[in-house]
Structure formats: structure tokens, C-alpha cells
Amino acid sequence: MRKPKRSVLLSLCALAALAGCARDSGPAPLLGTLEWDRIAVPAEVSEPIVQILVKEGDHVAADQLLLTLDPRRTQAQVDAAQADVLRLSAALDELRHGARIETIDASRAALVRTQATALNARLARDRAAEIRRKGLNSQSDLDNADAVLRQANADAKAAQANLDELLHGTRPEDLAQGEASLAQAQATLAQLQVTLQRLSVRAPRAGRVDTLPFKLGDRPAAGASVVSLLVGDAPYARVFVPEPVRASLQQGARFNVRVDGVAQAFSATAVRIASEATFTPYYALSGDDASRLAWRAELELDAPAARDLPAGIPCQATLLVGKSVADK
């Protein structure tokens, strides 16, 4: 009775060994997940969301309006910047055109008035000095007359300088300062106009709406992602290449990719292979430990049916030995 049992056990062991050999005859599949390229569209400023025009899962075209942030505050800043540009532009035109003839005539009249005042002050000072020599007034009276004369002369010199400035025109340095101020105001206006446009959040490229993390009325922080888009023609398989396979795997290698829950197998091409190990730095391993290294690789799926697959599904990629992109 024992011999038949022993033969059965030996047969089962032989079958198991053969099955193991059959499994080991081909390359082991590379494990990973399906992924899409993602684009995060940020909020330009922190303003409440006043309009949402898409839903998660919607396909959108490039430059399509997705949602709108409240533009009133930024619009007011744009209006103020536009007024500042107009003010500085008018000031620069005034500098370029020089003084009006009426302003020059008024300056000449002011000079004549101050010169007449200075002449009267000189005559009064001379009379005070003559009277002082006769001893008929005090020294303080003469000092007061001297002070009035000095002030009148200073006023006349200031009026003369003001007239000369008007007659000589605007200095080049003043023009340069005016032009620089206007350019700065125009740059500020352009920046605010860009910010105002981006309050209408648009798709930077065609894709599918993945997530809308905020709801109507929410006020996201400046720079926070308000829309996440999945972009590209199809998802790709992100798999991890073990160390024994890495040396023989090159870009352009062909794979069969099986996705969990999908009966159809997809053809794929290796388009990117990381240059550095993903899990452990290469310099930290030596000898037998080097077999624990893994490199991230991305396999581009060929079938159009892959366009509808979501991200994150586990998948297995089997290398087609001897096949490359040139054999397609």
C-alpha cells in the first residue's frame, strides 16, 4: 500500500517541477499601474468661485472655460492702474511740450514785480542809512531795512531763475524719469490685466476633468489647484523593472500589457526608462543586495480603446523577446 502512495507523490512532485519550469521559461511580467499625465490648473488669486461650467469626467477642449473666480477686486485694481497710466502719460506730454506761453508771461510779470520790490527796498535802505549817519534813527531801524533789502533781492533772483527754467525747457533727465514712470505704470497695468483674464480659468490643453477640489462659493488660496486635468492621447503603464532585466531593456522594447478587469491585452512600447533606481540608491547596495533595485519605466499603449481607461488600475507588462519599435 505504501509503494503506490510513494509513486503518486513522486508523480505530483515531477508535475510541479515541470510546471515551475514552464513558468520560468518566459520573462516574468513587470508590475505597475496605468497612469495619465496630469495638469493642475491653479487659482491666480484668492477669490470666491462664482461659476463652475464642467463636471468631473467631462472631456474639454484646449482653451475651454472651466470655472470663473470673482473678478470685482481685480477689475478695480485694473481701473486704478489705467487711470495712473493716463495721469503719467499726460504729465510726460507736458514735459515734452514745455511751458505754455501764458505761464512764461506770468513768470515774467512776477520777475518785474519782485525787481520793483527790490528797488524800493534798496531806496528805503539808503534813506535809513543816511538818517543813521545823522543820528536821527536807531541801529535797529537800519538793520531792519537791510533785512528787507536782502529778502527782496532773494525774491528777485528766485523769480529770475524760475523764468530761466521755463525758457530753457525740460531737462533730458526729467523726460527720462517721466518715461520710466509711465513704463512702470504700463507694466503694472499689463500684469493686472493678465491676472484678470486668468480669473476665467481655461483648459491649457485638451483633456478630461479628473478632479474639482472646490465647490461653488469656495475661496481657494492663491496658487491652489482648482482643476486637475488628465491629458494625452492614452494612458501609459508605469511599471518597475528589476535589476536583472534592466541591462537588457532599452527604449523601444515591445510589451503586452494586461489590465486588471479588462479582457483585452494591449500592445505597448517602452518610451521612458529612469536613469536612477527608484527604491534604493545604487551606492547603498552591493553583491546580492543589488537584485533589489528597481527602475521606473513608462510604456505607451497603442490601442485607441485605452483612451477610456482610468488611472490607477493595476497592470502587468510582459516583454516580447526580440521585439522593438522597429518591428511594429
Domain ranges of the chain: 76-192
Q: What is the pLDDT of residue 325?
A: 54
Whether 200 and 70 have beta carbons less than 8 Å apart is answered as: no
Task: Please state at what angle helix 139-168 crosses helix 101-133, rounded to 10 degrees.
Answer: 160
The number of residues in the chain equals: 328
| Residue 323, C-beta contacts closer than 8 angstroms, at least 6 positions apart | 253, 254
The reported pTM is 0.63
Which three cell numbers mark 120? 524800493
pLDDT confidence band for 188 (50 / 70 / 90): very high
The model's pLDDT over 198-248, given as tens digits with 9 standing for 90+, comes to 999 999 999 999 999 999 999 999 999 999 999 988 889 999 998 888 888
| Alpha carbons 243 and 286: distance in angstroms, whole number | 12
Kindly report the backbone phi and psi dihedral angles of residue 147, in degrees, each rounded to the nearest multiple of 5, phi listed first.
Answer: -65, -40
Read off the pLDDT band of 163 (50, 70, 90): confident
For 325, the grid coordinates are 519599435
d(CA 225, CA 138): 87
- For 263, residues 6+ apart whose C-beta sits below 8 A from its C-beta are none
How far from 248 is each of 188, 190, 264, 271, CA to CA, in Å?
Answer: 56, 54, 27, 15
Q: Regarding predicted confidence, which is higher, 165 or 2?
A: 165
Confirm if 32 and 240 have CB atoms less than 8 A apart.
yes
* Strand, helix or coil for residue 230: strand
Per-residue model confidence (pLDDT) at position 292:
78
